[in-house]
Chain A
Amino acid sequence: MKSTKVRMLTKQTILFMALGFATQLSWAIDAQGFQKQYSDEAKQTASSARGEKFFTSKHGKEWSCATCHNAPPTSDGKHASTDKTIAALAPGFNAKRFTDEAKVNKWFKRNCNDVLARECTAIEKADVMAYLINLKK
């Protein structure tokens, strides 16, 4: 009787641990994770050099990524129309960056539209991630 109860408890604990591990896995995203996700999607290897060029160039509209995020984006930037401070973008200089998938999706969607008047492609995003990850203290 007692051993059945213990076995059940053990089983339950293992299940809980597995569940906890799984949730942690799906939550713990970082800059490298995004780069991998985007280059997998593009079926192409990311290039930091291409990312830098993309980031610092204008794409037919008034602003480039660097207009607000600086080049290199390792220090606080300034919003082009409101002047509000934008915390550093490169993950090596701001640990909070690229840790929240919904936030990353939201800003890529908005900012690509502001800079390119369209969504960014997977390889464009992969390249930018490679560029940002390469920026180190």
Chain B
Amino acid sequence: MKKIISICLLALASSAVLADGNMLPLKIPEKVNSECASCHMLYAPAFLPKESWGRIMGTLDKHYGTDASLDPQSVKEVSQWLFQYAGTYKRVNGAPPNDRMTESEWFIRKHRKVSELTWKHPKIKSKSNCMACHTTADKGQYDDDYVRVPK
């Protein structure tokens, strides 16, 4: 009986971890870290389809209001990595408007209970600021257990 309970618990625990955990590949190339995570945290390639990443990497000189242009060799290396893991999050379904993950259907649905006032909190400011609430987002961990909404 004890064994059954522990197996059930284990299964429950692992399914909880799998539910929305580990969106990032275990190994991140140094190039990716230095080029994609100096101005913002590293967004998981899983959250956007290949089509969106391709457009983003093709317009880095106009990157959400700033110039993030890169040399062609770096663009190639980073794109390869992005494409390898693009859209692997199970809820991704086509390119979202403006290639913004925050405008994806799944993102809107998952954040439907977050009030406008919360979004405007000075510690949040933007929907792309995952780390403001998902404290382990930079590790690819988006599970509810690690969510702390600033008060």
Contact = CB atoms under 8 A, between A and B. Distances in A.
B22 interface: no
A109 interface: yes
A109 B128 contact: no
A65 to B, nearest CB: 13
A22 to B, nearest CB: 25
Nearest to B37: A84
B129 A114 contact: no
A82 interface: yes
Contact of B69 (A79, A81, A102, A110): A110
B67 A84 contact: no
Contacts of A43: none
Interface stretch (B58-66, B80-88, B139-147): B58-66
Interface in B56-113: 61, 64-71
Interface residues of B, number: 17
A111 B69 CA distance: 10
A108 to B, nearest CB: 11
Contact of A106 (B61, B70, B125): B70
Interface in B114-151: 125-126, 128-129
Interface string B28-64: 0000000000111100000000000000000001001
Interface in A103-124: 106, 109-111, 113-114
B125 A83 contact: yes
B66 A84 contact: no
Q: Is the interface of B mostly helix, strand, loop or mixed?
A: loop
B41 A84 contact: yes
B101 to A, nearest CB: 14
Contacts of B129: 82-83
A79 B129 CA distance: 12
A114 B63 CA distance: 11
B69 A82 contact: no
Contacts of B65: 81
Interface in A61-88: 79, 81-84
A128 B41 CA distance: 28
Given A82-B39, A113-B67, 10 more contacts: A81-B64, A81-B126, A84-B38, A84-B39, A84-B40, A84-B41, A106-B69, A109-B67, A113-B61, A114-B67
Interface of B: 38-41, 61, 64-71, 125-126, 128-129
Interface of A: 79, 81-84, 102, 106, 109-111, 113-114
